[in-house]
Amino acid sequence: MKIALRHAFVLAVCAFALVPIVFVVSAAINPLGTLASTDLLPNGASLGNFADLFSSETHPFARWFFNSVFIALTASFASLLLSMFAAYAFSRMRFRGRRVGLLALLLIQMFPQFLAIVTIFIIFTRVTDLYPPFGFNTTWGLLLLYLGGALGVNTWLMKGFLDTVPKELDEAATVDGATHTQIFWRIILPLVTPILAVTALLAFIGFMSEFLMANVFLRDPESKTLAVGMFGMIAGDQRNANFGMFAAATLITAVPTVGVFLWLQKYIVSGLTAGAVKG
């Protein structure tokens, strides 16, 4: 009886998790493409919503997709590199202001970046006048904005992982004549692959789904990201008419995140199962 109840509970949880996904897939292949006509099981199926999504002149989805993937990959890599450098310095080196710097990073994270939106807006207004490629409605401007908050939680997360790596490895490499750069790239980095993979995945998901800052700084249709552009697809009176295209866009948007997860999964598993020292 207990086993039957457990199986019933698992099936109920699976059904609860799968119903929203089935609903989105149903809306994406519904030929009518409206919210009012969307059913869990549509009458007929077609790829018309996907075709309309890529052929729409008012909603350049292909451009939004490229902007989001490019920004997420670039910002994730840059923030991961900066956080790793900072975590290595805080974990392995002793210098004046180390403790204050760590506490400052922790305290700053208590306040969301959006609290400084007015100041940031004024700064980027000036930047747009002096250096337009890094101002409003530009990919590089948004990347610069994201990298301004790259340090923080990731640095603390990596530092905690680096603290578990024996310092005897550093000392042995130093005795052999290795520099700090060689120790970092050839010894430490291969040993912290799991935390790098996890941090990269979380950063990629965060940048792909970021909306508030991007909505303020991106107004030109060609410069928008997926979050901002797709919000405009269902804003106001367009919610009912464009729901089919929105559902199709949602499915396509999930592809990069799933791909990055599948790519990083092997590094997470191999890093957790491999030992640092083998006899």
- Cα Rg for the chain, rounded, in angstroms? 23
Residue 239 predicted with pLDDT over 80:
no
Mean pLDDT of 232-245: 77
Residue 272 predicted with pLDDT over 60:
no
- For a pLDDT cut of 90, what percent of the chain falls above it? 8
Please classify residue 192 by burial: count the beta carbons closer than 10 Å to its beta carbon, then call 0-12 exposed, 13-18 middle and 19+ buried. Answer: buried
pLDDT at 97: 82
Please give the mean pLDDT across all residues of the chain: 83
Mean pLDDT of 12-38: 77
Q: What's the rounded Cα separation, in Å, for the pair 245 and 76?
A: 28
Contact 137, 219 (CB under 8 A): yes
Confidence tier at 38 by pLDDT (50, 70, 90): low
Amino acid residing at 200: A
pLDDT at 72: 92
Q: What are the DSSP calls for the chain, one per residue?
A: -HHHHHHHHHHHHHHHHHHHHHHHHHHHH-SS--STT--SS-SS--SHHHHHHHH-SS--HHHHHHHHHHHHHHHHHHHHHHHHHHHHHHHH---TTHHHHHHHHHHHTTS-GGGGHHHHHHHHHHHHHH-GGGSTT-HHHHHHHHHTT-SSHHHHHHHHHHTTS-HHHHHHHHHTT--HHHIIIIIIHHHTHHHHHHHHHHHHHHHHH--HHHHHH--SGGG--HHHHHHHHTSTTHHHHTHHHHHHHHHHHHHHHHHHHHHHHHHHHHHHHS-SS--
Contact 135, 141 (CB under 8 A): yes
Digit-coded pLDDT (tens) for 60-105: 899 999 999 999 999 999 988 888 888 888 888 888 888 888 888 8
Mean pLDDT of 242-269: 86
pLDDT at 39: 61
The contacts of residue 32 (CB under 8 Å, 6+ apart) are 244
Residue 262 predicted with pLDDT over 50:
yes
First to last CA, the chain: 49
Cβ of 137: how many Cβ atoms within 10 Å? 16
Q: Closest Cα to residue 153, out of 116, 115, 190, 202?
A: 202
pLDDT at 41: 67
Q: What's the rounded Cα separation, in Å, for the pair 177 and 64?
A: 49
pLDDT at 74: 93
Residue 270 predicted with pLDDT over 70:
no
pLDDT at 278: 43
Contact 23, 35 (CB under 8 A): no
Q: What's the rounded Cα separation, in Å, for the pair 119 and 125?
A: 10
Mean pLDDT of 161-188: 84
- For a pLDDT cut of 70, what percent of the chain falls above it? 91
Cβ of 6: how many Cβ atoms within 10 Å? 10
Q: Among 15-24, 146-155, 157-166, 179-188, whose mean pLDDT is lowest?
A: 146-155
